[in-house]
């Protein structure tokens, strides 16, 4: 049994973080790179948690993108995010908050984070929509009298 409504709630939260990140990137000068990266990490995290919510799985209180990918893989082998970028994206949850740790963040760092967040959101939304359609089709077949 899927919980598409709960998944959509998580997606909505992820989209809000991504919207904040893109707004900050396009409107503020100087760009708050560390804050943009933080919100992108949050968008990726919440998008992956949407997949867990869809399957009714426990949603851990973690920022670890690699762990979330592993937890999602229990339910699907679909590509939901760039696994190679997971460790870097994970660091944005904490590193971005401390000046001594984010001094090397650049415009390229922000662009990387924005790209990862956008791609993850797109892949997860497509995956959930496809999965929900397949579930509805399956339910209809089971309800159809023979």
Close Cβ partners of 90 (under 8 Å, ≥ 6 residues apart): 41, 63, 64, 65, 66
Q: What is the pLDDT along the chain (146 residues), one digit of tens a residue?
A: 569 999 999 999 999 999 999 999 999 999 999 999 999 999 999 999 999 999 999 999 999 999 999 999 999 999 999 999 999 999 999 876 666 666 788 999 999 999 999 999 999 999 999 998 988 888 778 777 66
Nearest to 48 by CA among 134, 125, 110: 125
Close Cβ partners of 117 (under 8 Å, ≥ 6 residues apart): 17, 18, 21, 39, 40, 41, 43, 44, 47
Pick the CATH number of 4-132 from 3.20.20.70, 3.30.70.20, 3.10.105.10, 1.20.120.330: 1.20.120.330
CA 142 – CA 146 distance, rounded (Å) = 9
Long-range contacts at 37-40 (CB < 8 A, ≥ 24 apart): 37/92, 37/96, 37/102, 37/105, 37/109, 37/110, 37/113, 38/92, 38/93, 38/96, 38/97, 39/117, 40/89, 40/92, 40/110, 40/113, 40/114, 40/116, 40/117
Give the predicted TM-score (pTM) of the model: 0.92
| Mean pLDDT, the chain, whole residue set | 92
pLDDT tens-digit profile of 39-65? 999 999 999 999 999 999 999 999 999
3-state helix, strand and coil shares in percent for the chain, rounded to the nearest 5: 75, 0, 25
Phi and psi (nearest 5°) for 2? -100, 160
């Amino acid at each position: 049994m899927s919980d598409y409504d709960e998944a959509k709630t998580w997606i909505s939260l992820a989209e809000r973080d991504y919207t904040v990140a893109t707004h900050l990137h396009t409107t503020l000068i100087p760009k708050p790179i560390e804050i943009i990266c933080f919100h992108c990490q949050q968008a990726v995290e919440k998008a992956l948690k949407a997949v867990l919510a869809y399957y009714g799985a426990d949603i851990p209180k973690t920022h670890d993108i690699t762990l979330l990918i592993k937890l999602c893989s229990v339910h699907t082998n679909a590509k939901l995010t760039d696994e190679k970028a997971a460790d870097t994206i994970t660091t944005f949850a904490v590193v971005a908050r401390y000046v001594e740790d984010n001094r090397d963040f650049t415009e390229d760092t922000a662009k990387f984070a924005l790209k990862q967040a956008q791609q993850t959101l797109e892949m997860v939304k497509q995956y959930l929509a496809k999965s929900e359609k397949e579930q509805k089709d399956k339910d209809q077949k089971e309800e159809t009298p023979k």
